[in-house]
Amino acid sequence: MIDTAVIVATSDASTNPILPDHRPILWPVLGKPMIIQVIEPLYRLGVHNFAVLIGVEDTVALSELQRRWMPDIKIEVSMVMPGESLTSAIQRIFSAISRQSPNFILMGHNTFLDDETLTSVVNSSERCMVQSASDQDSVCCVAVSVEDIESAAKGSQPKSLSEIMRALAKSTAKTIKQASWHIQVNRLDDLYALHEHLLETKEDPYILSEISDTVKIVPPVRIDPQVSIGQGSVIGPYVYLERGARVGYRAHIDHALILDRGNVDANETVQHAIITKSGRIHLA
């Protein structure tokens, strides 16, 4: 069983004008920062040692990563040093923790896949790679050793995490696993797709604010604490209201995320959109 994971804050995702104060590593996912939602499934499977690699621009995530999200968990945060390649930074982390476990799980902070595939990776006694359910050229995560990353670092240096994992897949013999589902969150429409999937599959309590009996809830819906909803509103299906959201009287919301103190006016209809205090985008 593998008990150590290296989570890399990739540069694939970028900040968005309607979430200007949120680095992608901290984008909200059902009440928690995205990186914590990536860590939690691994933690439930017995992985309690995490090394998180971030860039200088992601240091704002330090306070969130240092919170006690789960008992008996160890999260060590490292930064990519100025002038250091991502491959060298990952190799440095692997070398530092290689005494804890012969193999490690390597994946991005914005990678989500099914629990069954994650379970098979954690319980694997051999090195393996996981392919995306929709794209066989896309590697979701790998279980590798420090020797593997050293081998992949030889020759031309891959620059991105996806290139590194493809290089690892080619340079070492591994068992290939196919993810049943895989969502890579690079843009806000990916964030909505992730919420839509998690709202269908998670069994968490879905209403955590007091609401009027006149409000109609059409599941699946998640409502955080401290959300204000006006009387006569219709919420759902596929809606997440983050803490601080405000919904006016007789509003109708479906297939939408209301994040970062976003506001929906009275009598307004919102469909296929993401709304924050800084603006909104409409989903295709």
Q: What is the rounded CA–CA span in Å between residue 151 and residue 133?
A: 27
Please, which pLDDT band fits residue 105 given cuts at 50, 70 and 90?
very high
Q: For residue 28, what are the β-bridge partners? A: 33
> Which pLDDT belongs to residue 153?
67
4-184 and 206-282 have identical folds: no
Asked if the model's pLDDT at residue 120 lies above 90, the reply is: yes
Please, which pLDDT band fits residue 22 given cuts at 50, 70 and 90?
confident
More confident residue, 168 or 249: 249
Q: What is the rounded CA–CA span in Å between residue 245 and residue 11?
A: 29
> Which pLDDT belongs to residue 88?
87
User: What's the rounded mean pLDDT across residues 180-184?
Assistant: 93
Asked if the model's pLDDT at residue 156 lies above 70, the reply is: no
Q: What is the rounded CA–CA span in Å between residue 175 and residue 187?
A: 30
Q: For residue 51, what are the β-bridge partners? A: 6, 76
Q: Which of 57-71, 142-156, 159-173 has the highest mean pLDDT?
A: 57-71
pLDDT tens digits along 257-268: 999 999 999 999
> Which pLDDT belongs to residue 204?
64
Domain ranges (residues) in the chain: 4-184, 206-282
User: What's the rounded mean pLDDT across residues 120-128?
Assistant: 88
pTM equals 0.92
User: What's the rounded mean pLDDT across residues 272-283?
Assistant: 96
pLDDT tens digits along 198-247: 999 886 668 989 999 999 999 999 999 999 999 999 999 999 999 999 99
40 burial via Cβ count (<10 Å: 0-12, 13-18, 19+): middle
More confident residue, 11 or 126: 126
Q: What is the rounded CA–CA span in Å between residue 9 and residue 256?
A: 26
Asked if the model's pLDDT at residue 6 lies above 70, the reply is: yes
For residue 83, report the phi and psi dihedrals to the nearest 5 degrees: 80, -5
Q: What is the rounded CA–CA span in Å between residue 105 and residue 41?
A: 13
% of the chain exceeding 70 in pLDDT? 94
CATH architecture of 4-184: Alpha-Beta Complex (3.90)
> Which pLDDT belongs to residue 210?
92
Regarding the domain delimited by 206-282, which CATH topology (the fold level of the hierarchy) does it fall under?
Answer: UDP N-Acetylglucosamine Acyltransferase; domain 1 (2.160.10)
> Which pLDDT belongs to residue 181?
94
User: What's the rounded mean pLDDT across residues 94-111?
Assistant: 86
Asked if the model's pLDDT at residue 167 lies above 90, the reply is: no
